Chains A and B, each alone.
Chain A
Amino acid sequence: MPDIFDSTQLESEETKNNPSKEEVLTAVKEKRAKSHEKKSTRKAVEEYSEVMSEMDAETSPWAAFAAKPRWTAFSTQAPDEQILLLLRKHPLTQVSWVVLAIIIAIIPIIFSGIPFLDFLPATYHFAAILGWYMLLSGYVIESFLTWYFNVYIITDERIIDVDFLSLIYQNISAAKIDNIEDVTATKGGALRSVFDFGTVQVQTAAEKTEFEFEDVPHPSQVTKLLNELMLEEEREKIEGRVN
């Protein structure tokens, strides 16, 4: 009988293409076991990082330098990925808009003695002041949000740069620790030296070739942590613990 009419062969091919329920379950179990194995072979960050072993978990949601931050996550975080460091711009870099907001707030009080709007009825005075403070509230909220949500995240696997440049523009870049080629910390100026903040530049072999953690606190600590993570990745590769 020619092969084309061999029904047993057809059946075996069908089984190959559509695996049975048991086969699927076995595959899932194997995958889970592998994932568990990976987790168990991965070292705790405190074991290989001096920076992390010296720091306690940060509980304040305002911190500009938050090591192992609690109750914090990000949208593209993998289930077994741990946030090691969350960075924002140093609070001192925000002083300019805070001072400007205070000046804007006291302008109506300062100019209340000068009758340059006296040609208008009192209700229009009230409306102008209300509008003024409404614009101020918008400015303060927008400036705060820009500072609070523009973060740099270092996990045990990746570095992530979250940028909200304007009201509607969002940019999230990430690079694996393996792809980091060079890390440089720059601290220029008296203010940066006294208050220990500066810029950390990370050169990568990823799609985005340069990450810039602008005006972050303790840049030398950040550089040290990144170097420790890079070394651990190398060790993982050598010891065959690569995910």
Chain B
Amino acid sequence: MIFATLLELQMGPQDSLVTELTSSAIFLGILKVMFIIAALLYVIFSFVVVRQIALMRQTVVTSLSSFLQIIGYIHLIFALLVVVIFFLVL
């Protein structure tokens, strides 16, 4: 609250220009693309994690291995869901 009040007090004509610029469709469009690209890169990462868990559980077999594999798949599904959410919400 204190920070918000301070920011409001400091706002001048330059700040309103910044607000206009950032709320413009082009800026938000670029930001949306950036969010989606980042999420897609994360999907690749989580896919690599799934492959890595598969390789690890082949190398060292424990009673927890299958549980970890499930965690890997849940993580991948979560990453895919985030891409879908970014597409729909932004």
Task: List A residues at the B interface (Cβ < 8 Å).
Answer: 61-62, 69-75, 113-115, 118-121, 123-124, 126-127, 130-131, 134-135, 137-138, 141-142, 145, 148-149, 151, 162, 164, 167-168, 170, 172
Q: In the assembled complex, which residues on chain B have CB atoms less than 8 Å from the CB atom of A131?
A: 35, 38-39, 82
Chain A CB within 8 A of B14 CB: no
Closest A-chain residue to B89, C-beta based? Answer: A123
Among B42, B59, B63, which residue has its beta carbon within 8 angstroms of that of A71? B63
Judge whether B1 is part of the interface by a CB distance below 8 angstroms: yes
CB neighbours of A70 from chain B (8 A): 63
Residues of B within 8 Å of A145, CB to CB, are 49, 52-53, 56, 68
B2 to A: closest C-beta gap in Å: 8
A121 to B90, CA, bound (A): 9
B28 sits at the interface (CB 8 A): yes
13 contacts between A and B (CB under 8 A): A72-B60, A74-B60, A114-B4, A124-B31, A124-B35, A127-B89, A131-B39, A138-B42, A138-B45, A145-B56, A164-B56, A168-B48, A172-B59
- Say whether B59 contacts A149, CB under 8 Å: yes
B28/A74 in contact, CB under 8 A: no
Q: Which residue of B lies closest to A74 (CB)?
A: B60
Name B's A-contacting residues (CB within 8 A).
1, 3-4, 7, 18-19, 22-23, 28, 31, 35, 38-39, 42, 45-46, 48-49, 52-53, 55-56, 58-64, 68, 71-72, 75, 78-79, 82, 85-86, 89-90
Nearest CB on B from A50, distance (A): 27
How distant is the Cα of A115 from the Cα of B55 in the complex, in angstroms?
Answer: 44
Residue in A closest to B19 when the chains form the complex, CB atoms: A119
B49 in contact with A115 (CB, 8 Å) = no
Choose among A61, A120, A141, A167 the residue that contacts B62 (Cβ–Cβ < 8 A): A61
B52, A168: Cβ atoms closer than 8 Å: yes
**Chain A residues whose C-beta falls within 8 Å of the C-beta of B75 in the assembled complex:** 137-138, 141
Q: A73-B61, A135-B42 are in contact. List 8 more A-B contacts (CB 8 A).
A: A71-B63, A72-B61, A124-B90, A130-B85, A134-B39, A137-B78, A162-B59, A167-B52
Residue of A nearest to B86 (CB): A127
Question: CB-CB < 8 A to B79: which residues of A?
Answer: 134
In the complex, are the beta carbons of B89 and A138 less than 8 A apart? Answer: no
